[in-house]
Amino acid sequence: MAPLPRSTIDLTGRAAIVTGAGGGIGRAVTLALAGAGARVLAVDIDERKAGETAGLATDGGGEAFAIRADVTRSDDVAGYVRAAMDRWGRIDVFMNNAGWQGPVMPLVDVPEDAFDAVMAVNVKGVFLGLKHVLPVMIAQKSGAVVNTASLAARIATRQLGPYVASKHAVLGLTRTAALEVARSGVRVNAVCPGPVDTPLMRDIEVSQSGGDFEALRKRRTSTIPQGRYATPEEVAGVMLFLASDLAAHMVGEGVNVNGGAFS
């Protein structure tokens, strides 16, 4: 009897871009891509954090470099696409990940400029990424995009109105883009993580709890069947799968990564 085939994700030689690469999920997926053999451009508005992520990838034997970009500015987005093309001549994987939770407060108290800022990063940033990356992939007749949505794309959360609205929009953009490019050999999907153990999540909990975030976390984890938050690496693993050929027939999906919460 022949041995069973080993199922491993191999992205050797593929060129990838990760936005928000300085954060928890962004850093984890950059390292996951590099570990799978992909060449990675780490993009973040914080140049130092992007450089740290790229450095971790190269220190581990991968190929990565960093660039600073503001995902809300079309020129900056075109710039990171151009940087990848100048270096590698193609873009095979795009992790459209940059995001911001915005102010944690009741909807009626949210300043208008804060609402606009959340929408700019989480919605316009995703839109601009799709706008500039998809033409490259369409011309190649291949490519995989993974947008970072959230469990907030499906349910509401108190005191995070702009964030919830923005993540609903990300799922809408994912589905629309997926339908438009499906016959071009390009796939667009999204991940919808529940609570993830990142500094961003800690900031939200501190604001929502008035400082006693441990009590809030205990209440939240009690509602999750697995009894804990996801790690960034667990989310990154699903993103890596969606970018791989193992997910070749997945189009326009929003994949929950939430330990069974709200399922």
Q: Considering 94, 127, 163, 229, which one is annotated as catalytic? A: 163
Q: Name the 3-class secondary structure at 43.
A: strand
Is 163 a residue of the active site? Answer: yes
What is the C-alpha separation between 73 and 247, in angstroms, rounded? 31
CA-CA distances (angstroms) from residue 91 to 104, 137, 202, 246? 36, 7, 33, 18
Kindly report the number of other CB atoms within 10 A of residue 128's CB atom.
Answer: 23
Q: Name the 3-class secondary structure at 187.
A: strand
The distance in angstroms from the start CA to the end CA of the chain is 40
Instruction: Give the pair of three-digit tokens for residue 26.
Output: 């962004």
Backbone angles phi, psi at 179, to 5 degrees: -65, -35
Kindly report the number of other CB atoms within 10 A of residue 38's CB atom.
Answer: 26
Among all residues, which ones are annotated catalytic? 163
